[in-house]
Structures are given as structure tokens and as C-alpha cells.
């Protein structure tokens, strides 16, 4: 168990540079707001962004990361394939991955899921309610029975990811759609949590319940030290003990 | 495989006797409407009701049933325990069970689920949309991406049943709730499908898409002839072949 | 999260009284050996047995229990129904339950599962290997890729419990059988772990890796403080905010 | 539902050309033996091999395929990426895919799974028993409680694929390993079944029970005609009906 996981928050970071309303909402960047939220729950995090060398995702940086948060949107294609490959291998080796909102289309998530991860959407600042449907799950710790966000982008089913192994939240949207908004997956030695809300022009990452979910997810996704896998050819039968 | 499963539709049948508006809506009973719906899809069914001898669920009747539909509401407690026991054993032996709407609280469903199967509800004739979230599932065959019901009773999460093994539908309700509305379970040799809509004062069982779901579910839940289980003490090691 | 869950180990405790070889193997009882194992991993536990008043499972005792271990075999039928009912309600309210070996046939487990929980068996002291098949799971923390037990009772498939939501171990047996040996279930607010090994005439609860699994399971099953469920009738639509 | 799915059996086909013992065992090729097996169960299939133009997997051929069987081993890297891409899109659009034995390492399977799909192995012609662990599943129709293969290659856990959504078989091996041998996945509109046995130097595809599994799997994986997905931007809220 990793009581205090080493966390890296990765953010594309472009909206904050180019859209004044996003910069106003997130003066420290979306990554900064997430880091502040984690601090409220006793967790510390380093941050990394697309425009840093190696996107801030060097092999050394990843080696020192137990849980990686990922927020991307407009620049998925600018993320270098070798960085994606490094993250991919680290997840299979046990690093937790928290995939946020529009990162459903990130290279790393679609690669790990094996599907398009497509969905329907409507950026109309409508009301969303995230209902807890697995109250036994550690990611639901300390929550009310739903989280209400006054203004969010709608994401609607079908969500073209594999069926989640554990489904924690289902979203209701004002316009008539639903979405599986909190989806857990296990891949290799790693755990992955997809969490739907977090549109760049909405104050979602300042919401206390959202911050709690992110902290819960970091603790849930942290590596737990299971056995390293043994693959490949085994000795012949007659040499078995 | 059972290309044409032998189907029994069980209905409590009390609302039709006591509420003129239900009798008007379902002159042949809810069971009659379901049977008519199945006929549109090439399936025939016998029906059975609470007030028949043995509730129409004698051992002989069950022996000749591949798939049992169940609609109950006000009189769950009037269903005799030995009838429930017979149905229970038949499900574990392979009979399919389609559990409808307020039957979430039936003795047979709560026994098979092992939980309270409680939920929240509001009988206000509001709009429901059942979104297909597993379009690969045979129960979703021939549907549009959602079924819209203009007037239904709301059921809201948490649904206190086990997490479904396959989740086919999620409902959106006008008032702000969501519900896992199409839930598949496997128990013993049997398959179980819980399908949420079907309030007695709404014309739900006349809806073409609802009828299609019921027919699909009957075919999905029909016994498939897997190996009978072998339980109990095995011969000693030295007698193994 | 419950960093140090309050644990109760319940044991039927009859074999130790009646079979000298079991008393020799477990001089403090099976419950005592389990408690000793948990202490090695920083957890403390009270114990309770069948022959105590209320089987040691009074409402007060259960109120102070976050995780309950259960070992029973010959006397399942002697466990009072009202005690089973109290445990059942506590599990749905969030108490973790660790079900051990022959407790697959206990009243509490079969009630929570909704199935017979039957299986095949052979008490021939044969070799068992428990392979970790989910190395990302917290219950697999600190283990090797398998646990080998030189002598155990065989349990073989089919295991007539619901398909586990998370499958952590699969057992291989010398005589040719396999078994899903580490099965996770969520019911209500509670988490349940069934762990296969632990025959009363084998020293299984003295094995270091088995003790580690039990400690991991206690931490995994501890209540996490999710939202209490809200069931029942909701206010009418026109009164919604 | 597709009562008689149009089936294509794809085989690498190299072992049959280069190893006389494989040619002797499978004079019509592994694909020919699989096709013969399907015919015994009322299904017909076309075949395709690596060395045909487009590997026999042109867009037109795939358009006319409801279920694709895949057997590859030594030449995974020779399968052209554009052929893999065509198969991938067809699976997400609803084509069933049956992945056989060493095809766990095929480009198409690892892409759809998102993981390495690695495992351990020992080609020592040892005894394998495939236990049915989900007897309610259509793929288990008509089987005994296990299939015994006198001589097969061992595959051992961990199997680095995602946890299967439905687990039908678990294998026991003489040398002490286990394997999740019959794994169901749903991706997009398509269904995927991984089936472990089928080493090229063993007569596995002549075994009656193996042939039954393959026929069952073809029927299970056939497209069921669910709703085509609607992705992308939705009309604004004020234009909703």
C-alpha cells in the first residue's frame, strides 16, 4: 500500500494560455486547481504540462510517480508517441492513472482501452448530477448521494469505452442524456479511473465534492505492491520440483 | 439453445381487478398485454396469476416453463413461500427469469439477489428515457439508441441489487434521477433480467420498443443446455484415473 | 477510510473441542490463529464463537465491528437466525465480511449470495496452488505470484456463487480441479471476500502468505464511508427545487 | 439475431507449409479443420490465410463476414497494419471475433485489449482440463463439466488481458498452472471470445467438444443488430424537442 502516493498532474495547459476566461477561472491552470484540491485532502502533487521538455513526462519523472492525473483536449495529437509509450508501460507496471473529462480522446486512454472512447457532447452549460451508484467504493467516500454541478458540458451515451469493471457514478443531464461518469479499469498491475466532469470553462475543479473524488481516486489508484508478473517460457515438465 | 422457449407470464393481477383505470388500460391484464407483445415477435406464452391454484406455478407448470416473466406489486407477501421455493430451484436449474418493474421487491427477486433491492420512487407520470449502454447485447437488438416513455413512475438510484453483470439500459428521468434499468444476472444455470419500466397506470406494455425488449429478453434468458453441475464429495485421490 | 478497522473473528469453534488433532494444530482455536496472523500485520481483533451468548454477535458487538471474519463448518444450522439477520443488516450497512473455507455453506453467505454456494470437495490433503490473477488488487499486496499449500482439502468448480465482481485467486489442485478461491462481492454498502483455503486439519492459518491475505482483505473490506442510501418515496415533481 | 452467421476463418497457415507433422495433423490446414468442425454443427465458413492477397481480408470480404476466427503464431508481424485496421473497425461495428490460442499476441487482439496479452507457456504436451465455470453461458451449451485434452501446450497465469466480462472456462494443467481459457469481451458493437487451446502440433481442433465450443462461440459472437452509435456534437439545448 502507498499511504501517500507520489502524484503528478499532467495538463495540456493550452486553454489557459489562449482563452482569457479559462485563465480567469484557473489562474494557476487546471493542474494548479487540481493540485490545490488534493492538498485539501492531505495529498501533494507535482505538475507537468505539454509545453515542458518531454511534456514533463521524462522516464525519471514517471519513475517517481505513483499516480498520474491527465487532462487534455485540443492537443492530444501533439503529445509525443514516445511519451505515451512511457506512460503506457508505467501504467501496466502499476502506476495509477486518473483520466479527466476530454482526455477520453487522449492517446494514452484510447490505447489502454482499445476502443475509440467516443461519445456525444453539448457544451451548453447545463445542469449535471453525478449519482453515486456504488456506495461501497472507496472513491465514493465522504460524498453525498449525488454531486450537482450547475453548469457543465454534457457528455452522453454511448460511451465507446469497454464496460467498466466498477461503475461508481452515473450522470444525469438536464437535456435528457445519461453518462457512465466514474469508470474503474484494471490493466496489468495498474488501476485506471475515468472521471467525466471538468470542462475548461466551468469551475468544476473548484467544487469541494469534485476535489474529494479526485483525492479518493488517487488513493484508490495508487500501486498496491502485488506480485510482478512472470511471463514467458517455463522450464520443462521434468525439471519441475 | 431453445429457439422457441416455453414462456409463462406471471402477474399478480390485482390492480386490474380493483382499479378501473388499470382495467381500462389493460383489459386482458398486464399479463395479457405482455403475451400480446411477445406474439408480435413470434413467441407464445401461457399466463398465470396470483389467484389461481398454486398461483399457476405448480411444479408441473414450472417444469414446462423455460422463461418466466414476473410482475408483482401490492401482494408480494401473498405469494406462498413454497411457490417461491419452486421458482427459485427452477431458476438455479436453468429457467430464465424476467423481473418487471415493482417486482424488484418480490420474494423471488430479493432471494436471488441476496439484497433488499430497495430504491427511490415517485409516481408522477414523468418522462423517462432508457438509453442503451450496451449495444452489443442481444437484448438491445432492433432498438433505437433510446426508448422514450412519456409517462412513467420514476425509480431512482441507489438500486440496492448487486452490481449487474451486464448493464443494458440506464434510465434518465425528468425530475433529475437515473436508474440502472436493464440488469442481467447469472445464478446457477439460470439467467435473470431485471427491466425497470411497467407501472400499472401507464401504457408501457403497449409500447412497441418495450415489447421488443421483452421478446429479446425471453430469447436471451432461455436455457442454453450447459452441463448440469456436479457437487459434493469426490472419490479419493488414489482412485482418480 | 478506516485505517485500523475494528475486527471481529467469528469461529464455530467445535472442531477444536472435539478433535484432538485440530486442538493440537490450533491450540488458541482457528480464531486465535487468525488473530495472531492479523497482529503480524498491525491489526488487532476480538474473537467470538458459537457457544458464547448470542454467539458473541450481539447488536452491540456488531456495532463495534468494521470487519467480520467468519469460519464455520459442522454447525451452520446452530447459528440463530436472528444473529444471521443482525450480521446481514450490518453488512448491507457497510461492515466488511471475510468468509472462510467451509463457510461457503454458512447461513450468512448463502443469504447474501442468493445461491446454494455448493461445490465439489475431497479431503485428501493434496497440494493446492493459489495463483494471483489480479495483481493490481489490494488483496494481492506483498504476495508472490502464487501461494503453495502442501496439504489442503480440495474444493472444485462449479462454485455455485454468483460470478465474482473481482477475482483475485484461482486455485490449482493436484487431483485435477480448479477453483475461484478469492472472490470479491459488493452488497449494499458492504464488501465481501470469500477466501477458499482453511481446512481445520491443515496448518493453513499459520502460513505467512495466508496471513498476509487475511490482513489485506480486512483492510480492503473495511467501510469507506460512502453516502448512506436514500430509499423510498420522493416529493412530487412540482416540489422539486 | 443472425441465425446463420457468415463466418470467415483466418489462419496464418505457415506451420502447415513448413512442419510436416503439422501438415500431417491438419492436411486441410488448421482453418480447414475448424471449418469442418463448424460444419458438424450446421455452420458454413469461408477461409482466408496470410499468404492470400490482402491476407484474404479485403474490405469486401470483411463486409460479408459476421464472425471472424483468427489463428496466428509465428507471423503476427507480417499481418499488414491496414488489414488489422479493417478488422478492428469491423469488430467495433459489430463483427464477432474468435481469437484462438497463440493469437493472444496478434496485432488485432492486443489492439482491442489495450494490454500486452502476455502469459507463461510450456510446450510439453501435457494434460489440460478446461472446466466450465459459467454453465449458464451459451458457449457452454452441450458440454460436459470439463473438456480434457491429453496433450496441449501449457499457458499459465498471469494472462495480461483485461479481466474478462464473462469467464466461461478455467484450465488446469498437469504441471501446476491455471489459465482463464474462455474469456468474453464486448467492444463497441462487437463481441470477442478468446479461447486458449489449439497448439499446432496437437489434434485439438479435431476434438468434438472443442468443435462444439467453436460453433457455440460463433453463434454467441454474431452481430445482434443493436442500435448504431450516435457520437459527436448534439444540437443546442434550446433546439431540443
Average pLDDT over all residues of chain C? 97
Interface test with A, best of C2, C42, C66, C136 (most A CBs within 10 A): C136
Kindly list the partner chains of chain D, i.e. chains with 3 or more CB atom pairs below 8 Å.
A, B, C
> Cα–Cα distance between C173 and C130 in angstroms, integer?
9
pLDDT of residue B3: 67
Looking at beta carbons, which residues of chain D come within 8 Å of B133? none
Interface test with A, best of D87, D105, D114, D152 (most A CBs within 10 A): D114
> Cα–Cα distance between C16 and C51 in angstroms, integer?
12
pLDDT higher than 70, residue B209: yes
> Cα–Cα distance between D226 and B131 in angstroms, integer?
12
And the C-alpha cell for D218?
Answer: 460463433
pLDDT higher than 80, residue A3: no
Q: What are the pLDDT digits (tens) for D131-149?
A: 999 999 999 999 999 999 9
pLDDT of residue B117: 98
Average pLDDT over all residues of chain D? 97
pLDDT of residue D1: 45
pLDDT higher than 60, residue B2: no
pLDDT higher than 60, residue A7: yes
Q: Is residue D121 part of a domain?
A: no
| Check: complex ipTM more than 0.95 | yes
pLDDT higher than 50, residue B196: yes
pLDDT of residue A1: 45
And the C-alpha cell for D187?
Answer: 467492444
Would an 8 Å CB–CB cutoff place B240 in contact with chain C?
Answer: yes
Q: Is C177 close to D172, i.e. CB distance below 8 A? A: yes
Write out residues 132-191 of C within 8 Å (CB-CB) of B. Answer: 154, 156, 158, 160, 162-163, 165, 174-177, 185-188
Residue B198: give its domain's CATH number: 3.40.50.880
Q: Is residue B96 part of a domain?
A: yes
Q: Is A158 close to D234, i.e. CB distance below 8 A? A: no
Q: Is D189 close to B136, i.e. CB distance below 8 A? A: yes
Q: What is the 3-state secondary structure (H, E, C) of chain D?
A: CCCCCCEEEEECCCHHHHCHHHHHHCCCHHHHHHHHHHHCCCCCEEEEECCCHHHHCCHHHHHCCCEEEEECCCCHHHCCHHHHHHHHHHHHCCCEEEEEHHHHHCHHHHHHHCCCCCCEEEEEEEEEEEEECCCCCHHHCCCCCEEEEEEEEEEECCCCCCCCCEEEEEEEECCCCEEEEEEEEEECCEEEEEECCCCCCCCHHHCHHHHHHHHHHHHHHCCCCCCCCCCEECCCHHHCC
pLDDT of residue B1: 45
Q: Report chain A's C-alpha Rg in angstroms.
A: 18
pLDDT higher than 70, residue C182: yes
The shortest C-alpha distance from B151 to chain C (Å) reads 13
> Cα–Cα distance between D179 and D155 in angstroms, integer?
6
| Cβ contact B91:B187 at 8 Å | yes
Would an 8 Å CB–CB cutoff place D102 in contact with chain B?
Answer: no
> Cα–Cα distance between B94 and B90 in angstroms, integer?
6
Task: Nearest chain A residue to B157 by CA: give it.
Answer: A133
Find the CB nearest C165 among B163, B174, B233.
B163
Q: Is C180 close to D133, i.e. CB distance below 8 A? A: yes
Q: Is A178 close to B173, i.e. CB distance below 8 A? A: no
Confidence of residue A220 (pLDDT cuts 50, 70, 90): very high
Q: What are the pLDDT digits (tens) for C49-74?
A: 999 999 999 999 999 999 999 999 99
Does the predicted model carry a pTM greater than 0.95? yes
Q: Is residue D63 part of a domain?
A: yes
Q: What are the pLDDT digits (tens) for B121-165?
A: 999 999 999 999 999 999 999 999 999 999 999 999 999 999 999
Q: Is residue B213 part of a domain?
A: yes
Q: Is residue C136 part of a domain?
A: no
Find the CB nearest B158 among A135, A159, A173.
A135
pLDDT of residue C3: 67
pLDDT of residue D118: 98
Cis ω for the linkage preceding C52 (within 30 of 0): no
And the C-alpha cell for B234?
Answer: 469426490
Q: Is residue B237 part of a domain?
A: no
Confidence of residue C240 (pLDDT cuts 50, 70, 90): confident
Q: Is residue C176 part of a domain?
A: no
pLDDT higher than 50, residue A90: yes
Total of domains in chain D: 1
> Cα–Cα distance between A177 and B146 in angstroms, integer?
10
Would an 8 Å CB–CB cutoff place B96 in contact with chain D?
Answer: no
Residue C82 lies in domain: 7-114+182-226
pLDDT of residue C1: 45
Mean pLDDT of C4-28: 97
Query: What angle do helix axes A208-221 and A29-39 make, rounded to 10 degrees?
Result: 80
Q: Is residue D152 part of a domain?
A: no
- SS3 of C163, please? coil
Q: How many CB pairs under 8 A join A and C?
A: 85
Q: What are the pLDDT digits (tens) for D53-87?
A: 999 999 999 999 999 999 999 999 999 999 999 99
Amino acid at each position: 500500500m502507498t499511504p501517500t502516493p507520489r502524484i503528478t498532474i499532467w495538463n495540456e495547459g493550452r486553454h489557459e494560455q489562449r482563452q482569457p476566461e479559462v485563465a480567469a477561472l484557473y489562474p494557476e491552470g487546471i493542474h494548479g486547481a487540481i493540485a490545490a484540491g488534493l492538498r485539501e485532502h492531505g495529498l501533494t502533487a507535482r505538475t507537468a504540462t505539454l509545453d515542458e521538455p518531454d511534456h514533463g513526462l521524462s522516464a525519471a519523472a514517471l519513475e517517481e510517480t505513483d499516480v498520474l492525473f491527465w487532462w487534455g483536449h485540443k492537443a492530444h495529437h501533439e503529445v509525443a508517441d514516445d511519451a505515451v509509450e512511457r506512460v503506457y508501460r508505467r501504467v501496466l507496471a502499476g502506476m495509477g492513472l486518473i483520466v479527466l473529462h476530454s482526455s477520453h480522446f487522449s492517446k494514452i486512454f484510447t490505447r489502454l482501452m482499445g476502443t475509440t472512447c467516443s461519445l456525444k457532447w453539448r457544451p451548453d452549460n447545463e445542469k449535471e448530477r453525478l449519482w453515486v451508484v456504488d456506495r461501497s467504493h472507496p472513491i465514493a467516500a465522504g460524498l453525498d448521494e449525488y454531486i450537482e454541478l450547475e453548469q457543465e458540458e454534457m457528455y452522453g451515451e454511448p460511451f465507446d469505452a469497454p464496460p467498466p469493471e466498477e461503475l461508481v457514478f452515473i450522470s444525469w443531464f438536464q437535456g435528457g442524456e445519461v453518462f457512465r461518469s466514474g469508470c474503474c479499469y484494471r490493466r496489468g498491475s495498474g488501476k485506471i479511473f475515468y472521471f467525466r466532469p471538468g470542462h475548461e470553462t466551468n469551475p468544476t475543479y473548484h467544487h469541494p465534492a469534485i476535489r474529494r473524488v479526485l483525492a479518493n481516486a488517487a488513493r484508490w489508484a495508487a500501486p498496491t505492491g502485488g506480485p510482478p508478473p512472470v511471463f514467458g517460457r517455463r522450464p520443462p515438465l521434468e525439471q519441475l520440483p
